[in-house]
């Protein structure tokens, strides 16, 4: 077994092993365009690439230090963790945050317990939600409709009767409408999102690769809701959505979700990844509760991942970072 940094010559092998959009070679290229440092590490057995790990390094202002981030890979082996630690030291990282895209299990927990000797600990802060909702697109439309909440099916019919239309768009005007509605939605719901520059780069980079898709819901020729979807291998991802507060009675977002599901089936996707949820027994006061309940109406499977972990490289600076980060978020919450 061997572990090493891979280059462009092994792109095809790396891509074949990648199990999530964020682990794709293209996503790494996008992050590089954004100005992030990217490391692509692979594990080999008998010369064959068996697992891949794509991580980014994020600079801490005025320190010369970084923090590493490894999302949605498989749980690294001991050999990979040791290599990650050496790579983190080379990149002057205080720690590497690791969020495996593997479902929670007793077997994986035992492995994580063993890795504490390598300074891998449960993290006090997550970036990706540890819960997700997954819809099986291999089912027929009739089966999918039958698994939905009755109120969701009713809302879809309301939108159809009111004349709401779902379209895929690739023009700049529709994309700018997405940005406008995204700004309105975040202000209305009181949460943070990426700046417009991030989304513009995302659109510009992935559009020629046909990996990103913009769906809109129209009512009387006015866009009321719009989503950015991604396709990687046989999975359709729904990470970003926005909607207008106008004409809520026509249920445009409900029909847009159904349109996205049907769109994924037309693309030949087997899985619809809804990007995140609140898990079992969510708090109705949580700002994301409305989104969670909306997604649950479509009958997806609830998934819980193994969790978020920090691979600590410098224990003293790690504790200092945690204290500073807690203070920063307290200030942001007060400002909000």
How many angstroms separate the Cα of 157 from the Cα of each of 245, 251, 256, 303?
A: 20, 9, 12, 28
Task: Convert the pLDDT of each residue in 176-199 to its tens digit.
Answer: 999 999 998 888 877 778 999 999
Q: Give dist(CA 135, CA 128) in Å, integer.
A: 19
CB-CB contact of 217 with 255 (8 Å): yes
Total of domains in the chain: 2
Residue 17 contacts by C-beta under 8 Å, 6 or more apart in sequence?
42, 49, 50, 51, 52
Residues 173 and 278 in one domain: yes
Q: Give dist(CA 100, CA 86) in Å, integer.
A: 19
Residue 161 contacts by C-beta under 8 Å, 6 or more apart in sequence?
none
Residues 234 and 141 in one domain: yes
Please tell me which residue, 58 or 336, carries the higher pLDDT value.
Answer: 58
Under the phi-then-psi rule, with left for phi > 0, alpha for psi from -120 to 50, and beta for the rest, what region is 46?
left
Parallel, antiparallel, or unpaired for β 309-312 and 120-122? antiparallel
CATH number of the domain bearing residue 48: 3.40.630.30
Q: Is the pLDDT of residue 271 over 80?
A: yes
Residues 247 and 200 in one domain: yes
Q: State the pLDDT confidence band at 330, using cuts at 50, 70 and 90.
A: confident
- Look up the domain containing 15 and give its range: 2-128+306-335
Residues 18 and 97 in one domain: yes
Comparing 18-27, 189-198, 210-219, 276-285, which segment has the lowest mean pLDDT?
A: 189-198
Residues 63 and 43 in one domain: yes
Max CA distance (Å), the chain: 62
Task: Give DSSP secondary structure letters for 142-189.
Answer: HHHHHTS-HHHHHHHHHHHHHT-EEEEE-SHHHHHHHHHHHHHHHHHH
Residues 29 and 54 in one domain: yes
Residues 199 and 294 in one domain: yes
Nearest Cα residue to 241 out of 211, 215, 265, 270: 215
CB-CB contact of 101 with 73 (8 Å): yes
Residue 103 contacts by C-beta under 8 Å, 6 or more apart in sequence?
303, 304, 305, 306
Average pLDDT over the chain, rounded to an integer: 95
Task: Convert the pLDDT of each residue in 34-49 to its tens digit.
Answer: 999 999 999 999 999 9
Helix (H), strand (E) at residue 31 = helix 25-33
Residues 103 and 203 in one domain: no
Residues 171 and 256 in one domain: yes
Residues 192 and 170 in one domain: yes
Tokens of 300: 């997806």
CB-CB contact of 67 with 94 (8 Å): yes
| Overall average pLDDT of the 147-156 stretch | 98
Residues 123 and 239 in one domain: no
| Overall average pLDDT of the 147-151 stretch | 98
Residue 131 is predicted with a pLDDT of 97
Residues 13 and 114 in one domain: yes
């Amino acid at each position: 077994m061997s572990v090493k940094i891979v280059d462009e010559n092994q792109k095809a092998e790396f891509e074949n092993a990648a199990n999530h959009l964020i682990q794709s070679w293209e996503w790494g290229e996008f992050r590089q365009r954004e100005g992030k440092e990217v490391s692509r590490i692979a594990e080999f057995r008998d010369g064959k690439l068996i697992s891949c790990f794509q991580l980014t390094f994020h600079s801490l202002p005025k320190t010369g230090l970084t923090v590493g981030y490894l999302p949605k890979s498989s749980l690294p082996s001991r050999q990979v963790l040791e290599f990650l630690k050496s790579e983190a030291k080379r990149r002057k990282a205080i720690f590497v945050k690791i969020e495996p895209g593997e479902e929670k299990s007793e077997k994986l927990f035992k492995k994580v317990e063993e890795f504490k000797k390598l300074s891998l600990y449960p993290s006090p802060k997550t970036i990706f939600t540890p819960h997700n909702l997954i819809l099986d697109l291999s089912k027929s439309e009739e089966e999918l409709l039958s698994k939905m909440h009755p109120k969701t099916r009713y809302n879809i019919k309301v939108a159809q009767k009111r004349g709401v239309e779902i379209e895929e768009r690739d023009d700049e005007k529709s994309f700018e409408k997405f940005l406008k509605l995204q700004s309105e939605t975040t202000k209305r719901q009181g949460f943070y999102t990426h700046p417009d520059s991030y989304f513009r780069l995302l659109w510009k980079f992935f559009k020629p690769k046909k990996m990103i898709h913009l769906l809109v819901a129209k009512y009387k020729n006015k866009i009321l809701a719009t989503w950015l979807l991604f396709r990687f291998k046989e999975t359709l991802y729904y990470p970003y959505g926005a909607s207008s507060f106008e004409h809520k009675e026509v249920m445009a977002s409900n029909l847009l979700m159904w349109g996205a599901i049907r769109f994924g089936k037309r693309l030949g996707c087997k899985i619809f990844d809804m990007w995140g949820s609140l898990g079992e027994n969510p708090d109705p006061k949580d700002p994301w509760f409305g989104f969670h309940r909306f997604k649950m109406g479509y009958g997806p499977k609830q998934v819980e991942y193994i969790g978020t972990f920090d691979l600590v490289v410098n224990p003293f600076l790690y504790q200092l970072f945690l204290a500073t980060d807690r203070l920063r978020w307290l200030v942001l919450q007060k400002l909000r």
